[in-house]
Chains A and B, each alone.
Chain A
């Protein structure tokens, strides 16, 4: 790679979409001011956005292919700059095996979604492009941030952008959905902000200087939050209640985005009332951040609290899983049905994560990636159907295989991947998750299996009703099959599903070292063993 990119790859990835759209904004304003015209047309914005995000994606793949060392334990592509040392905020971005698949997934999906909804956004196209590209920047920032406060800043940026993405195209109901989203996720993220504040204070008391980096690095000031659990435990989290409170503070933020069941109310409405593209982006970009945050921050920072809370969280997620399946079955609107299925699948991820086993973590990463790919593809199929029929209720579709054979084939593959058919990506994640869960309580395992089967049946039945069977609705007779653009988008999403399903080793090989590293922080026994070996005096 070129001299400009070496050493700054992640910054390029994070800021390329955002800077593209900001410079477009400035040029637009300049043209409007000095020439008095309408500015750069939305079509140009869209084209530039597509090229910028494609370039980001290419850069991500090139970096992952050539420079990412799968055997390396720990962080790669580290960039560390001091930003506000007085509060412990540093610009610290890095990549490990857990974030890598998600980063590749996100950068790949964004240009595909832009392509998929090429003609869909009719009014305020420029705003749409603005929100989408800035959202990509924010999400990549969250995925790569290794400073807790930096994570929080990107996190809030992402939420604000999604808020506008939900509300701006849905009319009155869209506004209501956006408001609900704002209240729930805003509550969560303010709780996270408060927890970070307390962590900062505790860390300051323990270490003597503010530092919110997660781990120490060469450019950093010293030990990060994860490096001295000994000190933090002894001086800071003197009581288990404080640690539990902080765990809950972080957890609420991630649960509200995930979304876990009592905080899930925003998702179906939000998905229903935004545009097809917005729907796919919320699914692909925002939802993965919930479980990712749990893995990245919640568990390693507060291992004892996580271990103590695990049974309750698993129980809650299990209830959520079954409840979401029940609600999904009752929906007649396809978007709402798939939204509830998303909730169910992510609840399963939470159960797997809180099994606190290596397999659970690896499975969670693969399952998040799989959810990213399949749910996005499902929503894109729905938006293609909506472009043709302008309805999304399940009664409106039946026997689509006859007029739309290509759609039928691709949709079936996607559904297969989503429900965990062998040789497709869903299978790998689910098996690993269940293997992780099986090391704990058999009741949870039983419930999870029921949930997996329930999701599978639901998806199968939905597919069956839409694609196969007699062509009952006369309007569907004349439907035009997918055009080249739509086929390309779906095939581009299906290729990784097949790849992960048939040959998951490249992914697993990269995830596993990082998960082993993570287990060092999460496994309470390991943490205690380390505490016994180290003392406070070891730290500078």
Chain B
């Protein structure tokens, strides 16, 4: 490589995000006095600036994919192919969310500079987790990712539900971080190290201290993730937050946590699989059924989607239980497919919000197919892909993941997952039912999607169909050929 050689152990995407976030903050302060006159143009500029930052991260990750970078035991951070794929996935979703946010925020008359800055700070945390090879760095990254989310959730603080949700997010986040750190301390006490390479060798589950540490770390991560016995905060926060933040939590936040979990298991705890598989299976079944059943009773669309996202976590847990390279590759594809569906569905909710009023209840969508055909059809596509109907991206995601689980020999859990997905099929189809088959409750105000929103939504539809008709579940590996080797290496020891 000619010119400047950048070490793979420098967290470049995190730095990019931090720089862009600070720039946006400064610009926001600078233009504050003349906000009224030049507001719209500045806001547009800010959203483009944040997009540029996210785009820079994507491009950087793509250039790093081909280099076969391996973790170095002496370094805390490595930007290996897994980190690159994770970064690309989350950055693309974040880009779509940023595009969707600007119209939404201006219809609520919320200031935008701080919003984008907080979003980018949170992303910088996510990108830090993706490459961390050290438990403390991981915790630091998670904190950096989740703390800005608390402020984002309370961003519309004059609305009661928003500030209430922010409090819940704060307490739940603090508790889970405390539990996780407590576990990390135990692990340190048991092994004397916190880097993944040492943990992999030294961790001995016969040791009660190590076992307790492991359990605490897992409970903390499960709380951050929203797995079922630790999920209570998740739907509340998601419902109360501004919709553009809800989609960030569901898509970027959850994806990040799953990828972090993946990294921790692959690099730190591959020897613990015999211990963890039953835990994953139990969590999976509990999550699948409880979350799907809860989603069944929701009338609020945001809450319903949040429960649906929790239910999908149950399926992800099956991949962890199967613990094979195929399962993990399918998991990454699944995360992408779900991100498309969720971004689209929340995007539609954002589009219909108008004049500072959320239209997020199921009744608000009654009969909108009559006058807003494009939105209704797009929403149907997103729901079908979330339900996993053939011809959509979600189907192939589920297909690949369940194939891997079947190959690992867990036939009964696949049956359970199928039964649960019949429930989620019904949940997803409730939205088209309401949109196409019910009469309009009120004459809808003329909410029209802005051009940006329309482009993002149609792009999501195109991706949902595109990966449905020409899926390539091994896409992450074509991006970075070394990832497959990495997974094989990690899984087989």
Contacts and interface: CB of A to CB of B under 8 A. Distances in A.
**Same complex origin of A and B:** yes
A67 to B, nearest CB: 30
Contacts of B391: 153, 156-157
Interface stretch (A185-193, A283-291, A392-400): A185-193
Contacts of A86: 472-474
A295 interface: no
A172 to B, nearest CB: 8
B406 A201 contact: yes
Contacts of A125: none
A193 B425 CA distance: 13
A265 interface: no
Interface in B457-480: 470-474
Contacts of B402: 194, 197
B437 interface: yes
B255 interface: no
A179 interface: yes
Contacts of B425: 182, 186, 190
Please classify how large the interface on chain B is, using the bins under 10, 10 to 19, 20 to 34, 35 or more: 20 to 34
A156 B415 contact: no
Interface stretch (A163-171, A352-360, A382-390, A432-440): A163-171
B438 A175 contact: yes
Contacts of A259: none
B384 interface: yes
B436 interface: yes
A524 B376 CA distance: 50
A93 to B, nearest CB: 16
Interface in A269-325: none
B426 interface: yes
A237 to B, nearest CB: 13
Contacts of A182: 425-426, 429
A174 interface: yes
A306 B80 CA distance: 52
Interface string B226-257: 00000000000000000000000000000000
Interface in A58-115: 84, 86-87
Interface in B405-431: 406-407, 411, 414-415, 418, 421-422, 425-426, 429
A197 B429 contact: no
B403 interface: yes
Given A153-B390, A157-B390, A182-B426, A190 B436 contact: no
Interface residues of A, number: 30
Select the residue from A164, A174, A194 with max chain B CB neighbours within 10 A: A194
A183 interface: yes
A198 interface: yes
B422 A190 contact: yes
Given A87-B399, A191-B418, A200-B403, A156 B389 contact: yes
B403 A183 contact: no
A179 B384 CA distance: 15
Nearest to B411: A198
Contacts of A179: 426, 429, 433
A402 interface: no
A157 B403 CA distance: 22
Contacts of B389: 156, 160
Given A164-B436, A186-B422, A194 B403 contact: no
Contacts of B437: 167-168, 174-175, 178
A182 B429 CA distance: 9
A109 to B, nearest CB: 25
Given A167-B437, A175-B437, A84 B418 contact: no
Nearest to A32: B373
20 contacts: A29-B374, A86-B473, A86-B474, A87-B400, A156-B391, A157-B391, A167-B437, A168-B437, A179-B426, A179-B433, A182-B425, A182-B426, A186-B425, A190-B422, A191-B418, A193-B390, A194-B414, A197-B399, A197-B402, A201-B406
Interface of A: 29, 84, 86-87, 149, 152-153, 156-157, 160, 163-164, 167-168, 174-175, 178-179, 182-183, 186-187, 190-191, 193-194, 197-198, 200-201
Interface of B: 374, 384, 389-391, 396, 399-400, 402-403, 406-407, 411, 414-415, 418, 421-422, 425-426, 429, 432-433, 436-438, 470-474
